[in-house]
Structure 1
């Protein structure tokens, strides 16, 4: 199943279960929200989303500056905080926070490791976290879709238990 089919399935499951979702995305630049909303009826489940590409944007949406300073913007702690803040902002059942470095080193952040992505999924009961590597890709869209694919697999697994 390709990444678009996975998100279609996720959105349909959310609709069927009456669950809402939101995202705070950095390296995926809103690609997850876009994929979720490609399915007819997604407005019933997508509460809204944040694209927080810069550290400043993350902080403005509630990620504590101290977390970024202590653990780095590319960290489990930042991804978890992003998910928690997005969930709180939209009072959603599920929230995804994702941060990482695609193709090349980020000169503004010394914790940048190309291809390394951190994400968290925050539900009403739990927080799930994962760090993974994206193999080199031809372009930015391929990096984003590869990251979204890994996150989709985790979402599909989580939806079995929700």
Structure 2
């Protein structure tokens, strides 16, 4: 089995590649992150020149923060905070707020049940969406148990990277 350090280094290399690709294509990106609490934006900014592509990011850990940044309360009420629909609304809201080409929305449950949303919270279930110029694709992944919170965040980051690269090819 690959060591946690090797996996992290691979993910960081992938995000370096992504950031360089965005720079070369003059594409801008933003994120609205809940479960990953800014990890995606952090990975993007680890590469020199990232200020040309990352317009900003929202960390919306609670439902109220998502609503304050443009996610309709009705979406959360109807589908729960842990849903493809919420992730899609998050991606759209951040892309529009920052007038970026790409918006990433991510919500889900990492290692333990969310006490604020216990009925909808299932550890390892993550929803994310990628909005490229108004074309929104929503995704669902089930992560195996991870040793740390960082490992969960990096696992989600890798899933997002894989799907975004497919869409940019």
TM-score normalised according to structure 2 size: 0.93
**Which of the residues 8, 19, 22 maps onto 2:27?**
19
RMSD of equivalent CA atoms? 0.9
Structure 1 position 19, deviation (Å): 0.3
Matches of 1:34 and 1:104, distance apart in 2: 23
Quick check: 2:85–2:138 contact (8 Å CA) kept in 1? Answer: no
Structure 2: gaps of 5 or more residues: 1-8
Write out the 4+ residue segments of structure 1 that deviate beyond 6 Å after TM superposition.
none
Matches of 2:112 and 2:39, distance apart in 1: 19
How do 1:109-120 residues align onto structure 2 when only pairs under 5 Å count?
109=117, 110-120=119-129
State the secondary structure of the residue aligned to 1:58.
helix
Match for residue 9 of structure 1? 17
Structure 1 position 125, deviation (Å): 4.7
Structure 1: gaps of 5 or more residues: none
TM-score normalised according to structure 1 size: 0.97
Equivalences, count: 160
CA change 1:63–1:125 in 2 (3 A) is closer
How do 1:36-47 residues align onto structure 2 when only pairs under 5 Å count?
36-47=44-55
Match for residue 88 of structure 2? 80
Which range moved further: 101-110 or 46-55? 101-110
